Structure 1
Amino acid sequence: MDTMSTPPRRRSAQTSLGQVVLGFELIVVALAALTIFGLGALPPVLALGGGAALCLLMVLTIALMMRFKWAFILGWIVQVILVASGFLVTMLFLIGAVFAGIWTFAMTTGAKLDSQSKGNS
């Protein structure tokens, strides 16, 4: 057995923070889809199907963030979709804005931390 295997790739702070935000947001999106369904704001197939599609996009984004920088753009797209869902249920404007703010903070803070750690290396 080879004991000199390559060490696992270190996750950037931006990736870690983004994945945490999307993970928590995933729960909120699932509950929002159930709310849209329960209020009858959309037909059941669209409410639950759209919520499931957005959840799938979020899980995919979480996975892709480890390997591809363009996956962060998917994270921004998720934020836009969540804010736009406020047209279905008005309270989602507020929830979307809060998560977009958290996402923005995570992306800017993560990028600063990553640049500082590269400067110290």
Structure 2
Amino acid sequence: MMSEARAPRQRRRRGAAESLASIVLGFESIIVFLGGLVLFGLKATPAGIEPWWGIVAGSVLAVLLVLTSGVLRHTWGIALGWFWQLLIVLGGLLEPGLAVVGLIFGAMYAYATIKGASLDRLNAQRAEQAQDAADHTNGD
């Protein structure tokens, strides 16, 4: 039997804010996992909590960062990314180095979302101008 070849599915266009922010969250997930190992190795968990919970917390947060990078096309996805940035900075209460990591990646996430949104607006404006020019040319 011969089956018909399906046309490849069109890939969804991603905006600059979504692309840049997902790159930041992807790299941050690696660092957060390593931060969990640091909490374990330094036994920096609060009193009464086993140190291996540091590995669990780092692993879970790393997975959540990767999953968040998949929903950045939504406004709530960007907000969720900001929540994770705040949570990582608050990890500095357990180990001050995590606050430094959180602030650095928070700054990169801010740049990615703010500058990315600016680029998305500029690209939309240019596409609209190009469409207007094409319509004007076809209308003559």
- Using structure 2 for the length normalisation, give the TM-score: 0.79
3-state SS of 2:75 partner: coil
Distance 1:21 1:27 in 2: 10
Distance 1:91 1:44 in 2: 17
Deviation at 1:6, TM superposition (A): 5.8
Deviation at 1:102, TM superposition (A): 0.7
Give the equivalent residue in structure 1 for 2:94: 88
Gapped runs of 5+ residues in structure 1?
A: none
Distance 1:65 1:13 in 2: 11
Asked whether the 8 Å contact 2:90–2:99 carries over to 1, the reply is yes
Give the equivalent residue in structure 2 for 1:58: 65
Give the equivalent residue in structure 2 for 1:115: 121
Structure with bigger RCO (C-alpha 8 Å, 6+ apart): 1
Give the equivalent residue in structure 1 for 2:78: 72
Q: Which runs of 4+ in 1 moved over 4 A?
A: none
Asked whether the 8 Å contact 2:29–2:63 carries over to 1, the reply is no
Distance 1:33 1:8 in 2: 35
Deviations 1:40-79 (A, max 9, x none): 011234211111221121111012224x331111100110
Deviations 1:74-115 (A, max 9, x none): 100110011000001112111111111111011110000000
Deviation at 1:10, TM superposition (A): 0.5
Distance 2:93 2:72 in 1: 29
Distance 1:6 1:97 in 2: 39
Distance 1:33 1:41 in 2: 10
Root mean square deviation of aligned Cα: 1.5
Distance 2:90 2:83 in 1: 10
Higher-Rg structure is 2
Gapped runs of 5+ residues in structure 2?
A: 128-140
What is the number of equivalent residue pairs in this alignment?
119
